[in-house]
Structure 1
Amino acid sequence: MGLVRRSPQPGADRSEWSRRGYVSAVWYLRVVAFINFLGAVWVSFGNDIRRHNDDEFFTPYLLTAGFFSGALSVFLAITMRRRKRAAWILNLALAGLTLVLTALALGLPVYRQHIQNWLAVLLTAFFVAALIAGRREFYAKGDRANSKLAAAVGAVGLVVGSLLAATMVTVSNTDPDPGRSGFLERWHYGVLRMFSLAYDDIHFEGITTPGWANVLINLMSTALILLVLYAAFRSCRAVDPQTQADQQKLRALLERHGDRDSLGYFALRRDKSVVWSPSGKSAVTYRVVGGVSLASGDPIGDPEAWPGVIDRWLAQAREHGWTPAVIGASEEGGTVYARHGLNALELGDEAVVDIGEFTTEGRAMRSVRQAHHRVERAGYTVRIRRHEDMPPDEMAEMIELADDWRDGATERGFSMALGRLGDPQDGRCVILVCRDAVGRSRALLSFVPWGAEGLSLDLMRRDRNADNGLFEFMVLELIQRAGDLGVTQVSLNFAMFRAVFERGSRLGAGPVLRLWRSLLTFFSRWWQIESLYRANAKYRPIWEPRFLLYDQSTDLLRIGIASARAEGFLEAPGLPKWLHRGRLETPR
């Protein structure tokens, strides 16, 4: 589902020629990359291009027909598209030097007689002119430490790569008398192979290596160059994390406006940075992951100040070359973001239980009633308290158990999880501890405040050896005793693609919707997609849509990866699941 899109205002004062120069430079690199890859796989075509780089011919900037030149062109096209100033400087320097040398070469009759050379100079000149015309479009700053990091990567990589090349030469040497070459000769040979595959250019006594070894050695240099370029052009890491003063100001805004968004309290995660509106009445909290400035939920504070803080957040993202994205925005917040040039995509729905309207009567609530009665008859009990009312030793026990029950070493969550338990500043959070008939703790739930009269689910953990139905029992107990806490609404789990599961199972659903539902059901074997929807639906909640806001559709894959990293789903694999039979984590 999309919302209204308007042209972004920042940068509107730049000229049309500047924008055309930016687009032309990026597309030049894309076309060159395509031709380079095509020449790498189409042998005859690639040989024709390479012949133009020998003897009396030369080709336009970066056109050499090969995988390395193709990868380099793609990398530069991506960094130029992200408006990196460092990439613009590098391209201008290299292309300018190429243009000067080829223009001087045209002064010689041997080069001047070929029309291809004139065309190469014209195309290179076109690229240089596009760079100069679009110079104002390349404003994204890199990290100040990039130059030092690139130098360190290059130096260490060259040393390690040359030693690996020497080792590979030693192992793969097929010369009848390999003893004629010492280690320094093999090292020298390997270094030269890192930069050239031309057999006739390299002759060493006692060294004869097969073609596959030479290609592998050369690929190491390709990887090294790309790593150095990545280090030189990487986006600026996040800006300053929240200070104690920021936390106090955010808590003050939540006191006044916290009831607007159930995800507002999660802005207090300490791994998020914050941008303030000019008036200080609103804020956007975000985290930079893989070059994506990832905000979550709606802006915090007065809605009248939202446009000012969104403008600042977007301007900061553009200044540093970050891709702006928002996950989990409400319809109200998504509409405001869309007015600032972002597109909207419906991610799913948040399950909200209205305490005043909730009832366990009726056939639809039969499974919840049965689960509650079964667990209650087994002797389980639930105690509900604010965090500040729990003794320190008991809270320490809950923290230890929550960590023990977690499946894996990673604390998951970003947009709908606080990422901590038992912090003294979170005293108004609510914790539910479920104990069995002998008094052992078997499960816990933790909720963060949602304004003055609401709660939003933060953490769900239980011992897998305990009876099934504990979470249903605990949620129902919370709903039934919500009046004692002054709570009128409770936000439960977020169900991704909830509408697909609901509409796809109805009579008359179209083939596309049914196929989409089948795919999601298949992937639910590994990710809790359908199970979260069904776990929420049993409480007959109010479904509140949540949206993903993004700038360009080409960024969606990058945003998806950044979101998965932020939420803790893209990590190094841990122990096999069968080694965790005593643990369970149900992420928010």
Structure 2
Amino acid sequence: MTTRIGSGVSRAPVALGLLAVIWILALVTGAWAKGPSRELSANIALGVPTFAEGQVWTLWTSGLFASGFGNYVLASVFVLAIAVPVEHRIGSRRFALAVVVSQGAGAALALAAAELASAVPNSWGLELHGHLTVDPLSWVLGALLAATAAMHTLWRRRLRTLLLVILVTTALFAGHLQDVTRLCVAVVGLLIGPVLFGRAARSPVLGGTIRERRTLVALVVAASVLGPVFAAFSPHAIGPLSSLRELFDQVPYSPRELVDVCADPALHDECRKGQQALRLSGIGPLIMNLMPSVVLLVAAEGLRRGRRAAWLLAVGGHIALIGIAAVSVIVRTVQQDEARWVLYGIHRHSSVYRDFAPLLALLAVLVLLLATRRLFDVRASRGTYRRVWLGTLGAAGLALVLYSVLGTLLADGFDRDPGIGTLLRDAPLRLLPPVYLQLFEPPVLPLSPAATVLFEWVGVLVWTTLCLLLLRSFLAPPAGYDLGGERRVRELLHTPGGSSLSWMSTWAGNRYWFSADGRHAVAYRVHSGVALTTTDPIGEHAGLAGAIDEFARWCLGNGWTPCFYSVGSDTAAIAREYGWSCLQVAEETIVELADLAFKGKKFQDVRTALNRAGKDGIEARWTTYTDAPLSVTEQIVDISEEWAADKGLPEMGFTLGGLAELHDPEVRLLLAVDRDEHVHAVTSWMPVYRDGTLIGLTLDFMRRRSDGFRAAMEFLIASAALSAREEGLEFLSLSGAPLAGAESGESGLDRGALDTLLDLLGRTLEPVYGFRSLLAFKAKFQPRHRPMYMLFPDAAALPTIGIAVGRAYLPHLSLEESGQLLTQLLRR
């Protein structure tokens, strides 16, 4: 135990030393129970008053105290869980610099923000100007944000986005000086990180996978939604967006007292204010007011899944909220009263920032959604949202009937006798959040508990139904996911079987065409009027020519240009007989297993990888994604996201698989795992069948941890080959390398401009995507090379086909990303 403690202290002396100082000061001054006394705070706490008196040291001493025992415990947890690992990672000297600079400069920046906020007459600025705060968490966050400069791109992006979204949200909604200080210290830490580590700050906007970027956008939308909810449940929030807390205001009258007030014509204004307060008080109205936020929260989940409908819902919701906010500002400006602000609540202290800060926040989120619209292109199958709206309309109709019928039965529970006509007129208003109804006089108000439940909760049921139906629609399979077609394709892939790359036909995004006799299938996708196939047609070789001709005629009948992409020599020979153009676009590498033996000088690198893995205690372990434990799948996701993020460019798809393709239970995973169950690399292997018998495996997914076992890929491929040979398989396909080896294959066209163009494109993209380097890497296994072709009926369609191929590989490439890709190519 003593050894462990000594080791921990030696690893993080600064962090643990600061923690010791915090507790010593807490015990000596008696601040451990309820925080520093008023006299002590006047000398050590951060605030405009103490700094104005020349107590500059408060910029740092405020980080050595906490406001109570609970916060001391929380600070200890943060230091041990965050500061200690950070110091161990970046070194004590850098950690100490990060703490001192971020705390001092960040605290000064927070005071400057408080002065700036108080320069304009508003309650938030006045509160900030008078606050004193102590908080050890700020320098922990500052050091963590500084340390992100030394992290891999994936975790750098995740930590920065998550922490900054949380800190900005709490600063805008809670708004205390402590929250502003944490944000400012974190921002300073973010800025000094690249200086400490001698590297330029890198933009996290364009890199990474589609999945990661969708998640980040969804996180921002969710934070913007949860911020008002957080404010609603934080009665002490003072931030510029904290108005929802006032939904908890004490109602000045009970329902029956309000009846007496409204009976006096002289108290009409008091009656109106009392009615507004009564309609906005209680659990039912509070939940009803928050339901639009819940809908947007559901939309955030849809955004995470890339759903187009979720994007439309989020954009439409924010446009509606912006419109309501604008109307509210106009009404308040015209009426000049203390009516509740339509969007968030009461504004006793009307000001420019109170009226426009929520509006600007909504506009910022809307701009983000519009800028990232290309990320959200997953559409639901036909009829999905018709069922959502029909279900919601059905629930609304049932709610209106129940309100009218039960309201008639509970007539004595309302402030006036509500005839059926009055209830029918009021029923649609029960479906709107009460905060949006402040400009309308209520036809009736409930008095009894039963009438109150009916009045307040009938709309909640309808909104809840809408949320559940929307969530269900986002979880449903997307359009183009042909469950029946995929099942038939899998049957053909087993018997009679397909080519070495045919399993890619099962991937999401493909459509399926079947020949008239059902014995052949083609997986394809349509871009720019081109039906682009995924590898060779599947089915019996004897009828291959007829299937190709039938598919081509079917495409032309639909107005599409057929294009067989990444197909083998047999399909290319048939297409040439029809007079089609043929162009080599890739090179597949195949390792024959019958006489495989890693002997001789040419396999030196492979033997070295196998021997080194044995010495380092790394083993090759077969599994599937569905069978792997959660700890393993999380590591696989982290490795993949890190690999994609470090590229700094969009991840390619089409014939290049990603994480989604690993979920297939028939796809095997081979992992490089050490003694501590630490995954160093992962490969995936698609099956190849002939007449129901497994004859080979095809490599697809290859990812290696950047700081892991360097020869992991050689080790895994060699281990897969040896294992497959023992299993009695015939071959391993190391898959194809796009735009690599084009000069070595045969072609139906005279080698000229097109081949020169592809060669130029391959050499240009090489520094970015490394296809030729990949082909050179696979040569270590002495494979047999098989050219892959693109076939098309008319060379005049080649420009359109080129666009279709580009969109297939990079379907989410935006204009901004195109510019970054061009910049990368020119730079390299």
TM-score normalised to the size of structure 2?
A: 0.36
Where does residue 676 of structure 2 map in the other structure?
Answer: 438
CA drift at 1:290: 1.9
Within 5 Å, give how 1:200-211 maps onto structure 2. none
**2-structure distance, mates of 1:463, 1:445:** 12
Where does residue 351 of structure 1 map in the other structure?
Answer: 589
Where does residue 490 of structure 2 map in the other structure?
Answer: 251
Equivalent of 1:455 in 685, 697, 706:
697
Where does residue 366 of structure 1 map in the other structure?
Answer: 604
Output one character per residue of 1:126-179: Cα deviation in whole Å (capped at 9) or x when no partner: xxxxxxxxxxxxxxxxxxxxxxxxxxxxxxxxxxxxxxxxxxxxxxxxxxxxxx
Question: 8 Å contact 2:588–2:734 — kept in the other structure?
Answer: yes
Within 5 Å, give how 1:146-161 maps onto structure 2. none
Where does residue 797 of structure 2 map in the other structure?
Answer: 555
**1-structure distance, mates of 2:559, 2:760:** 38
Within 5 Å, give how 1:501-512 maps onto structure 2. none
Equivalent of 2:522 in 257, 269, 284:
284
Output one character per residue of 1:535-574: Cα deviation in whole Å (capped at 9) or x when no partner: 1111100111211101222222322232122122872366
Question: 8 Å contact 1:364–1:538 — kept in the other structure?
Answer: yes
Equivalent of 1:272 in 474, 486, 510:
510
Where does residue 50 of structure 2 map in the other structure?
Answer: none
**2-structure distance, mates of 1:540, 1:381:** 23
Question: 8 Å contact 2:657–2:701 — kept in the other structure?
Answer: yes
**2-structure distance, mates of 1:575, 1:467:** 34
Output one character per residue of 1:31-82: Cα deviation in whole Å (capped at 9) or x when no partner: xxxxxxxxxxxxxxxxxxxxxxxxxxxxxxxxxxxxxxxxxxxxxxxxxxxx
Question: 8 Å contact 1:395–1:422 — kept in the other structure?
Answer: no
CA drift at 1:497: 5.5
Question: 8 Å contact 1:275–1:285 — kept in the other structure?
Answer: yes
**2-structure distance, mates of 1:575, 1:517:** 20
CA drift at 1:243: 2.1
Query: Is 1:326 the equivalent of 2:568?
Result: no
Where does residue 499 of structure 2 map in the other structure?
Answer: 261
**2-structure distance, mates of 1:497, 1:410:** 18
**2-structure distance, mates of 1:478, 1:494:** 17
**2-structure distance, mates of 1:402, 1:464:** 10
Q: Secondary structure at the match of 1:374?
A: helix
* Aligned CA distance change for structure 1 residues 541 and 312 (closer, same or farther; 3 Å): same
Where does residue 657 of structure 2 map in the other structure?
Answer: 417
Where does residue 4 of structure 1 map in the other structure?
Answer: none
**2-structure distance, mates of 1:576, 1:460:** 27
Query: Is 1:469 the equivalent of 2:711?
Result: yes
CA drift at 1:406: 2.8
Q: Which amino acid aligns with 1:554?
A: A
Output one character per residue of 1:453-501: Cα deviation in whole Å (capped at 9) or x when no partner: 2111121112212232211111111112224544331111313465467
* Aligned CA distance change for structure 1 residues 376 and 399 (closer, same or farther; 3 Å): same
Q: Which amino acid aligns with 2:676?
A: V
Question: 8 Å contact 1:279–1:305 — kept in the other structure?
Answer: no
Q: Secondary structure at the match of 1:280?
A: coil
Question: 8 Å contact 1:338–1:344 — kept in the other structure?
Answer: yes
* Aligned CA distance change for structure 1 residues 481 and 404 (closer, same or farther; 3 Å): same
Within 5 Å, give how 1:131-146 maps onto structure 2. none
* Aligned CA distance change for structure 1 residues 325 and 430 (closer, same or farther; 3 Å): same
Q: Secondary structure at the match of 2:769?
A: coil
CA drift at 1:380: 2.5
Q: Secondary structure at the match of 2:492?
A: helix
Query: Is 1:317 the equivalent of 2:558?
Result: no
CA drift at 1:371: 3.3
Q: Secondary structure at the match of 2:791?
A: strand
* Aligned CA distance change for structure 1 residues 263 and 513 (closer, same or farther; 3 Å): closer
Question: 8 Å contact 1:347–1:497 — kept in the other structure?
Answer: yes
Within 5 Å, give how 1:13-28 maps onto structure 2. none
**1-structure distance, mates of 2:487, 2:755:** 46
* Aligned CA distance change for structure 1 residues 397 and 437 (closer, same or farther; 3 Å): closer
CA drift at 1:384: 1.5
Provide the identity percentage: 25
CA drift at 1:361: 1.0
CA drift at 1:282: 0.4
Question: 8 Å contact 1:501–1:517 — kept in the other structure?
Answer: yes
CA drift at 1:429: 1.4
Q: Secondary structure at the match of 2:496?
A: helix
* Aligned CA distance change for structure 1 residues 449 and 418 (closer, same or farther; 3 Å): farther
Question: 8 Å contact 1:411–1:419 — kept in the other structure?
Answer: no
The alignment yields a C-alpha RMSD, in angstroms, of 3.5
* Aligned CA distance change for structure 1 residues 283 and 357 (closer, same or farther; 3 Å): same
Q: Which amino acid aligns with 1:533?
A: L
* Aligned CA distance change for structure 1 residues 551 and 418 (closer, same or farther; 3 Å): farther
**2-structure distance, mates of 1:465, 1:240:** 39
Give the number of the structure whose residues are more often helix, by fraction.
Answer: 2
**2-structure distance, mates of 1:351, 1:307:** 25
* Aligned CA distance change for structure 1 residues 240 and 307 (closer, same or farther; 3 Å): farther
Output one character per residue of 1:228-267: Cα deviation in whole Å (capped at 9) or x when no partner: xxxxxxxxxxx97352211111111111122x40111111
Question: 8 Å contact 2:671–2:682 — kept in the other structure?
Answer: yes
Q: Which amino acid aligns with 1:347?
A: V
Output one character per residue of 1:173-222: Cα deviation in whole Å (capped at 9) or x when no partner: xxxxxxxxxxxxxxxxxxxxxxxxxxxxxxxxxxxxxxxxxxxxxxxxxx
Where does residue 494 of structure 1 map in the other structure?
Answer: 736
Equivalent of 1:382 in 601, 614, 620:
620
**1-structure distance, mates of 2:660, 2:785:** 27
CA drift at 1:315: 2.4
Number of aligned residue pairs: 329
Question: 8 Å contact 1:501–1:530 — kept in the other structure?
Answer: no
Question: 8 Å contact 1:275–1:312 — kept in the other structure?
Answer: no
Where does residue 540 of structure 1 map in the other structure?
Answer: 782
Q: Relative CO higher for 1 or 2, CA cutoff 8 Å, sep ≥ 6?
A: 1
**2-structure distance, mates of 1:523, 1:395:** 31
Where does residue 406 of structure 1 map in the other structure?
Answer: 644
Within 5 Å, give how 1:190-229 maps onto structure 2. none
Equivalent of 1:339 in 577, 587, 590:
577
Q: Which amino acid aligns with 1:470?
A: A
Where does residue 538 of structure 2 map in the other structure?
Answer: 300
**1-structure distance, mates of 2:552, 2:734:** 30
Question: 8 Å contact 1:298–1:334 — kept in the other structure?
Answer: no
**2-structure distance, mates of 1:464, 1:291:** 40
Q: Secondary structure at the match of 1:477?
A: helix
Unpaired runs of 5+ in structure 2?
Answer: 1-477, 746-751, 821-828
Question: 8 Å contact 2:739–2:758 — kept in the other structure?
Answer: no
* Aligned CA distance change for structure 1 residues 574 and 346 (closer, same or farther; 3 Å): closer
**2-structure distance, mates of 1:515, 1:266:** 27
**2-structure distance, mates of 1:304, 1:502:** 28
Unpaired runs of 5+ in structure 1?
Answer: 1-238, 504-509, 578-588
**2-structure distance, mates of 1:489, 1:523:** 30
Q: Secondary structure at the match of 2:508?
A: coil
Question: 8 Å contact 1:269–1:418 — kept in the other structure?
Answer: no
**1-structure distance, mates of 2:487, 2:546:** 21
**2-structure distance, mates of 1:552, 1:501:** 22
